[in-house]
Structure 1
């Protein structure tokens, strides 16, 4: 029984070691809850509102996931927050035709620039429902502010998830560019190898 237990421990140790080696070899490291590429171990953050709450939420995510926030530079990847907005859509009405329930949509637009790889634009949306009680105007205002803050937090987490997928996105772009170059090269070779018209 003791030998079986030792064998199980050994196998478990080997599996963990292999997983660690595989993770290290593909250029990823565990940072917080996401697998973030080495390309963004250092990242600059710029925003349409340098002192806004959204930027603070993203900075907090940087700290949580071990990303060094550095000043903008041509050699450093950049996350640029372009804009944020909140829109609402009526979901239900009171008997007097006043809106009773809204769906709030918080939208963030941002760019990720990685030197020598390119730029990608993204849009993140977060939806929440909100009850409009006309008898509690002050409480309603406070509740809405809290909901919007929660949506900012979720949007910041979604931005981090997108960063985790960044390497795969740029790898696909590089593969598409390489394939296009190879196709262009093949077309040129075909044109050059076509026989010319013989002169009598």
Structure 2
């Protein structure tokens, strides 16, 4: 049997190779499920609670995505977990006016610092619903703990997704700073040009005055 290679498969293979080369040239590498920039290949992790569950979840995401955790340093990018908070909101009630269903909201605040590029602060939120059955108090407590643990895992994944967008964020910041510098330079050049033109006008106006004084002096001498 002859092996048959269709033009469509050749085009598909060429496209995959082209995308791989473009990914490598842009300074990105596939780590886990996300394309993380080379700037955070080594990353330090600090937290409000070094032994908390959120800290452990983020650290496990580091291992999953090939990020090498290092000690904090001024030359190393840093991910700092600022705080975590769990709040709840009543969604429905029983007939006796007791809360039957809650919406749990887990909020994490964190900051990313990249030396030479700047820092950015973010807030991530995860929502889950929770049924409050008064007849199963123990099971309810266990279920809530499991839900909160799942919310921490989801928040850690969202932090990794934000890290994947980090290069685009800092590139945008650099573009905005460059535009601001160019605008400032253009304004200063415009001010210098205006001041130069004003100086020339003043000088041009002062010359006829000198000529008039000379002419008047000559008239006085001729009269004498």
| Shorter-chain TM-score tier | over 0.9
Q: How big is each residue's C-alpha offset from its partner over 1:55-88, in whole Å with a ceiling of 9 and x where there is no partner?
A: 0000111000000001001010000000000000
Secondary structure class of the residue paired with 1:146: helix
Larger Rg: 2
Partner residue in 1 for 2:145: 145
Over 4 Å off, 4+ runs: 1-4, 6-10
Shift of the alpha carbon at 1:17?
1.9
Using the size of structure 1 for normalisation, the TM-score is 0.96
CA drift of 1:13 comes to: 3.5
Which structure's relative contact order is higher, taking Cα pairs within 8 Å and 6+ residues apart? 1
Question: What is the 5 A alignment of 1:1-200?
Answer: 2=2, 4-5=4-5, 10-194=10-194, 195-196=197-198, 197-199=201-203, 200=206
1:2 to partner: Cα distance: 4.4
1:10 Cα deviation from its structure 2 partner: 4.3
TM-score (norm 2): 0.86
Q: Deviations over 1:152-180 (max 9, x none)?
A: 00000000000000000000000000000
Bigger share in helix: 2
CA–CA distance in structure 2, aligned partners of residues 94 and 17 of structure 1: 59
* Residues in 2 aligned to 1:26 and 1:2: alpha-carbon distance in whole angstroms: 40
**Paired residues, what number?**
200
Aligned partner of residue 187 in structure 1, secondary structure: helix
* SS of the residue 1:198 aligns to: helix
Structure 1 unaligned blocks of 5 or more? none
Backbone CA RMSD of aligned residues: 1.5
